[in-house]
Structures are given as structure tokens and as C-alpha cells.
Amino acid sequence: MSLPPVIVSGAALTPYGRRKDGSGFRDWAAEAFEAALAMSDLECGDIDMLFVATESDFFSMQLNPGSILASDLGLVGVAATRCEGGGASGQVAVHAAVNAVASGSAKHAAVIGVDPSASSLSGDAIRTLYGFSFDAWTDGMTGVTPTALYGLSYQAFAAEFGTTNDDLAAVTQQNRENACYNPGAHLGRRDSAEEIAESPMIASPYRRLHCSPLSDGAAALIVSQGSALPRSRAGAPQVAGIGAATDHMHLGARSSPGHFTAKTRAIKIACQQAGIVPDQIGLAEIYDAYAGAQLQALLALGLSDQPAQDLRNGRFAPDGRCPVNLSGGLMGQGAPVGATGVGQTATCALLLEGRYHSDLQPKAVPQYALADTHGGICTVAATTLLRQAVAA
């Protein structure tokens, strides 16, 4: 079943990184919202609903951030909802806003994704908290780390598909190379295969340079009913389809622990709504918390039957058939958790409008773009498909 017209009328991201300027999550949220609102040609009074994505109260030390941000952003009086789905929190908020607009509950809804994932707590404290985003009894309280669980899942994938450490290095190098051309990226760098291979081992096969950084930042979207869109935004992209699904929490309960089955279910739903097949997707922002997770995602999303081979052949390069993570992805652009899914969708919207960073903007803009996010070891998956504006 297709969605009623829901348009991305505004999209913005703050720079991602480790903030040392004394600013906080409320400042970043305001910066992103004001930029998205300006792009939409709307006023604060036009916004009917606010959806806020943050992963953990411990990062911001703020319970009920939706109400706080509604007050800060001049949206007092609107309905405010906080959305959470682990790493998928931002995309869950996007879906909530899209559904509100599609149902007629709102003409214009704002989405804010924000987290101080780098500056609020020590790295060890953040990693401990991430352990509690899995099963707190069996994982968090026993000291099992996300990197170890991701590593186990990838080992099963690699055993089935024959991927190697060279493939992990290729993902790392491409994403961080892309980030070098993104002025808002946290970790644009050009590491050799040797430097990657010599970086410290975290949990086999993942070394430090195979992992995304902890980042601060925010992203914002304004989604609108097509009939309520200002004329100036007639070229804005449309939400073509959304899909979400879950899998067993524990890898041992899954029939194929190396496969991101929830992602396969989610993209099937989104493609059915859009009336397309994955091969029609022309660019994608993929959830790459770890290098191997990108390869697993490309398979699960139907973008490739042999992701490592297609990566080596240039299919996912900036000038390839389906550019992946032009932003740099989580590995290069950064990973403020609540902002991630919102930022991916904002990036896709800006790319489809030809408004992205000039060195990364494709010369031939595709018709469809995919924003893909998950929480846990793809325990919850959420995907959003955008399409170019239909010519009048």
C-alpha cells in the first residue's frame, strides 16, 4: 500500500564531532531545527507535532527531552513525543512523523535527532551503557560489549561469504575518504591498509579503525503534507516508503546469526509501499557502526548478492551505480546516536535535491535514495525510501 504524499520540506545537520566549545545538545538541536525550518519556508507556528530521537537519558542527563526542546524551539503547544530504538532511534522518529503526516494528524511535523555521545561521559562509560542497549541481563551486566557481538555476527557472515580483512579495510577506506569531502564530518582520514591492520584489536576481527567514533551532533527534518507545501518547495523529495522490523535479541536464537534478517523484512515493506525493487535504488546511506556491518547490510537490503565483490568493482563508489555513504557514514561522518537516522534521511533528501556538498553531489541524481538504520545487532531495523519530486 503506497503512502499519501509526504514531503521532506526541510533537512539539516550540524557538524558531527567531539564538541569542546561549551555547547550542549539543546544548542545543537536548535541549530539543526532552525536550518531545516528555514529551508522549508515555514514558520514555527506551522509545525503541528514534534518528534525527538535520543538513545539514552544518561547522555544528556535530561528526562523528557521532547518537552524541553519544544520549549526551546518555540513550539510550545504542539504535541511532543520522544522516540527511542537504540541505534535506530532517529529513523524511528522519522517514521513516526511520516505516519502522523500521512494520517492527516499533522500538516507539518518536525523531527529532531540529537545525542552528546562523545562529550558527556567517558568512552568506557558510554561503552558500558551501550552494553545495556542489548539484553541487560545476559549482555550488559556480564560485560559483553557491542563490538564483541558485532564481531561474532560478522564472523558467521564472513565464513559463509568468504570475506576477508582486506574487504573490511576497503569499507573503512572508502567511507572515510568520502568524509574527507564532507566539511561536517567527524573522522575524514586516509589510512593505508597497513595502518588499519596495525590499529589496536577491539574484538576480533574488528580493530579500532574498523569502528565508528563516538560523536556529538544533531539533525532535523520537516515533513509536510503535499497539499500544505509552500510553492517554493515544489522540488522537495517525497517519502516513497518506510519499513521497520525486528529480530531475536540474542544471536544464538537466530537461524542465521550472520544475516540481518530484520533489515530484509524492513526493506521489503518499504519497497512494497514505494512500488519498486531494491535494484532501482540509486544511492544509500547505510548503517555502518562497524565495517563488516555495512557488508552485511548491503546483502540484507538487496543491494548486492556479493557485497564485497561489488565494493571492489566500484558499484558503491561515489561514481558507481549506487553510491553508498557519500557522507562518510557513521565511520566517517560520525555517530551521535539519536541524530544518526535523522541525519541519514536529511542527507538523502539534500542529495536528491542537488543541495549536498559540492564535492560529493552526484552529477546525475538518481530517482530513489535509501536511509538505513538499525539498533542492536540489527535487532530492530528501520528503513526510509525517498524519491525525487515528481515534475508537475
Local structure of 30: helix, strand or coil? helix
Q: Where are the alpha helices (DSSP H) in the chain?
A: 25-40, 57-60, 65-72, 89-102, 123-131, 146-161, 165-179, 193-198, 261-274, 291-300, 307-312, 329-332, 337-353
pLDDT tens string 226-253: 999 999 999 999 999 999 999 999 999 9
pLDDT tens string 339-363: 999 999 999 999 999 999 999 999 9
Whether residue 181 is contained in a domain is answered as no
User: For the residues of 126-148, what is the DSSP string, one character each?
Assistant: HHHHHHTTS-TTTTGGGT--HHH
Q: 73 phi and psi, to 5 degrees?
A: -90, 5
Question: How far lies 11's CA from each of 53, 121, 355, 372, in Å?
Answer: 15, 28, 10, 17
Query: The domain containing residue 245 runs over which residues?
Result: 6-121+213-387
Cell numbers that stand for 163 in this block: 570475506
Of the ranges 10-24, 132-146, 354-368, which one carries the lowest mean pLDDT score? 132-146
Give the number of C-alpha atoms closer than 13 A to the C-alpha of residue 153, restricted to the C-beta side. Answer: 30
Q: Check residue 1 and give its pLDDT.
A: 66
Taking the CA atoms of 164, 16, 94 and 276 in sequence, report the sign of the dihedral they define. Answer: negative
Give the count of domains, the chain: 1
What rounded mean pLDDT belongs to the chain? 95
Task: Please tell me the distance from the alpha carbon of residue 89 to that of residue 57, in angstroms, as a whole number.
Answer: 13
Whether residue 42 is contained in a domain is answered as yes
Banded model confidence at residue 266, pLDDT cuts 50, 70, 90: very high
Burial annotation 190-207 (CB, 10 A radius, 16+ → b, else e): ebeeeebeebeebbebbb
Cell numbers that stand for 232 in this block: 517554493
Banded model confidence at residue 136, pLDDT cuts 50, 70, 90: confident
Q: Check residue 50 and give its pLDDT.
A: 98
Q: Give Cβ neighbours of residue 231 (< 8 Å, ≥ 6 apart).
A: none
Q: Are 256 and 383 in contact (CB under 8 A)?
A: no
Question: How far lies 7's CA from each of 318, 321, 339, 345, in Å?
Answer: 26, 25, 20, 12
Banded model confidence at residue 277, pLDDT cuts 50, 70, 90: very high
Task: With a cut of 60, say whether residue 392 has pLDDT above it.
Answer: no
Task: Please tell me the distance from the alpha carbon of residue 23 to that of residue 5, in angstroms, as a whole number.
Answer: 37
Banded model confidence at residue 19, pLDDT cuts 50, 70, 90: very high
Q: Check residue 391 and give its pLDDT.
A: 59
Question: How far lies 324's CA from each of 46, 257, 311, 313, 355, in Å?
Answer: 34, 24, 10, 13, 17
Q: Are 287 and 322 in contact (CB under 8 A)?
A: no
Cis before 183 (ω within 30): no
Q: What is the CATH number of the domain that holds 31?
A: 3.40.47.10
Whether residue 145 is contained in a domain is answered as no
Whether residue 253 is contained in a domain is answered as yes
Q: How many residues does the chain have?
A: 392
Banded model confidence at residue 3, pLDDT cuts 50, 70, 90: confident
Banded model confidence at residue 201, pLDDT cuts 50, 70, 90: very high
pLDDT tens string 36-63: 999 999 999 999 999 999 988 888 888 8
Q: Which of 113, 108, 89 is nearest to 8 (CA)?
A: 108
Task: Please tell me the distance from the alpha carbon of residue 320 to that of residue 328, in angstroms, as a whole number.
Answer: 15
Kindly report the CA angle at 128 between 373 and 201, in degrees rounded to 5?
Answer: 80
pLDDT tens string 146-198: 999 999 999 999 999 999 999 999 999 999 999 999 999 999 999 999 999 99
Task: Please tell me the distance from the alpha carbon of residue 326 to that of residue 49, in angstroms, as a whole number.
Answer: 30
Q: Check residue 132 and give its pLDDT.
A: 78
Task: Specify the residue for cell string 541524530.
Answer: 339
Q: Are 3 and 223 in contact (CB under 8 A)?
A: no
Whether residue 77 is contained in a domain is answered as yes
Whether residue 33 is contained in a domain is answered as yes
Whether residue 192 is contained in a domain is answered as no
Local structure of 371: helix, strand or coil? strand
Task: Please tell me the distance from the alpha carbon of residue 324 to that of residue 56, in angstroms, as a whole number.
Answer: 28
Whether residue 146 is contained in a domain is answered as no
